[in-house]
Amino acid sequence: ATNTFTASSTPEPTNDTTSSNPLPIELAEASVQESSGDEEARLTWKTATEYNNYRFYIDRRYLGESEQGEAEASEKSWNEIGHVDGSGTTSKPQSYSYTDNTLEKAGLYEYRIRQVDYDNSSTIYGPYQFNKEAPESFKLKANYPNPFNPTTTIPYTIPEEADVSIQIYNVIGKRVQTLVESRQQAGTYRVNFQGGSLSSGTYFIRFEAAGRSFVRKMLLLK
């Protein structure tokens, strides 16, 4: 599913003391939608004109597994997750995008675009909502890269809240590392495995959650 929301023509009020000045940019449109399946959210926006535009900062907050009321949402804190440089001063339309690949828990997220001038005055646009749906099944995905040296990333999904265990074993069945041992909400996750202290060879990833068990093979080459 795609979640698309168009920017309001009126930016969110800020605590700026420069509100009597003309807006630093004219935001033509903005949206957020899925990218690369259910693992990423991609924000896109366009400007019709720009004046003294230094940078766009991207803020995000997590509202939970279902849409919250305005009062509760207002209590959720914003976190800056990245930025995109502006184009200074231009009368030509510009296109921008930012991909958020750090989403894990399923549920409702909000984004806002915080535009900052070279004189440090700012304007906030949004919020724009994105609903990350829970995966359909428990799954241990292929690690990447594989073969690896010395670090690899192990992705996995859980469709419901569950106790999750991820252990690494060598070829003789000895456990060499515990990567995850915790209760997690539904979502898509990634965990890194660092094999710098281990010798080259074949290792096995054992993923257990809600009574289910999955095993994958990986190869460490030094």
Give per-residue pLDDT as tens, 63-81: 886 544 444 555 578 999 9
Mean pLDDT of the chain: 85
Reported in sequence order, the residue ranges of the chain that DSSP labels E, i.e. its strands, are: 25-35, 40-64, 79-90, 94-100, 107-117, 122-132, 139-140, 151-158, 162-170, 175-184, 187-194, 201-209, 212-220
Q: What is the pLDDT of residue 65?
A: 67
Q: What is the pLDDT of residue 165?
A: 98
Q: What is the pLDDT of residue 16?
A: 43
Question: Is the Cβ–Cβ distance between 173 and 192 less than 8 Å?
Answer: no
Q: Running DSSP on this structure, what letter comes out for residue 162?
A: E
Residues found in the chain = 222
| Distance from C-alpha of 161 to C-alpha of 152, rounded to nearest angstrom | 25
Q: What is the pLDDT of residue 40?
A: 83
CA atoms within 13 A on the CB side of 157: 17
Show the tokens assigned to 132.
Answer: 């990350």
Q: Could you tell me how far CA 45 lies from the centroid of its own chain? A: 17
Burial of 141 (0-12, 13-18, 19+ CB in 10 A): middle
Q: Which among 165, 153, 175, 177 has a CA at the least distance from the CA of 214? A: 165
Q: What is the pLDDT of residue 3?
A: 39
Burial track 107-138 (b if 16+ CB lie within 10 A, e otherwise): bbbbbbbbbbbeeebbbbbbbbbbbbebbeeb
Q: What is the pLDDT of residue 143?
A: 95
What pTM, to 2 d.p., does this model score? Answer: 0.72
Show the tokens assigned to 169.
Answer: 């074993």
CB count, 10 Å around CB of 4?
Answer: 14
pLDDT lower than 70: segments of the chain: 1-24, 36-39, 65-75
